[in-house]
Amino acid sequence: MPQPHLFPDCPFLPEFKEEMNWKSLNELGKDRTIIFYQRCMQYGHCLWKKGFAARSILCLDRAFGAHLSGEEAFLKQWTLPYKALVWILETTHSTVFLGNTRVHFQHLADRLGEPRKAQRSGRAWACWLLTRKVLPELPSDPQHMVSEPTEDEIIKQLHQNGIPGEVEIWQDAIEYATSLSIRSKTP
């Protein structure tokens, strides 16, 4: 069982005021607007603080799937969670279950359907590349034959299908990941 004292606040995710669980998202039904995004970000932070790194990342996946214009006030303060993903990948202790996030994002990008398939797939590939930068030792899935995009192809996907400024948000996360040249894990 994860030990909560190992999980500091993530500076790239908003605080949550009350205990959250799957019902916090489920009660929104099919709503995938800014309210959904906000709850995903908060629930992702809640899961992280409880020691569930992999589940936190799955919650960020859901945040990436929200239908946003890019003009929402909450989004101005709590931007798309590319940097949060990098931080979680970097900060998760080696004894905590994280799974193979490289394979996760590879499969997600290749298997997404509508709505906004191109946008969501581009974001999954963007997360895949961030994972490769932070955890280069993770292997790909040799059974999943898919053409992996280059950084330039991901930029093109995000530029064509993302919200205004998304390419810059992602590139900032890449710079952040690159600056973390040595993974520092604290027991």
Per-domain residue ranges for the chain? Answer: 4-179
User: Can you state the angle between helices 34-49 and 82-91, rounded to 10 degrees?
Assistant: 10
Residue-level pLDDT at 186: 37
Question: Which range, of 24-28, 127-131, 137-141, averages the lowest pLDDT?
Answer: 24-28
Please give the residue that has the higher pLDDT: either 185 or 119: 119
Stretch 7-34: mean pLDDT: 86
Split at pLDDT 50, 70, 90, the class of 6 is low
Does 181 have pLDDT greater than 70?
no
Arithmetic mean of pLDDT, 81-105 = 94
Reported confidence tier of residue 80, pLDDT bands at 50, 70, 90 = very high
- In terms of Cα–Cα distance, which of 81, 165, 65, 60 is closest to 114? 65
- The percent of residues in the chain predicted with pLDDT above 70, rounded, is 93
What is the amino acid identity at position 28? L
Q: How far apart are CA 158 and CA 40, in angstroms?
A: 21
Lowest average pLDDT, out of 82-86, 161-165, 183-187, goes to 183-187
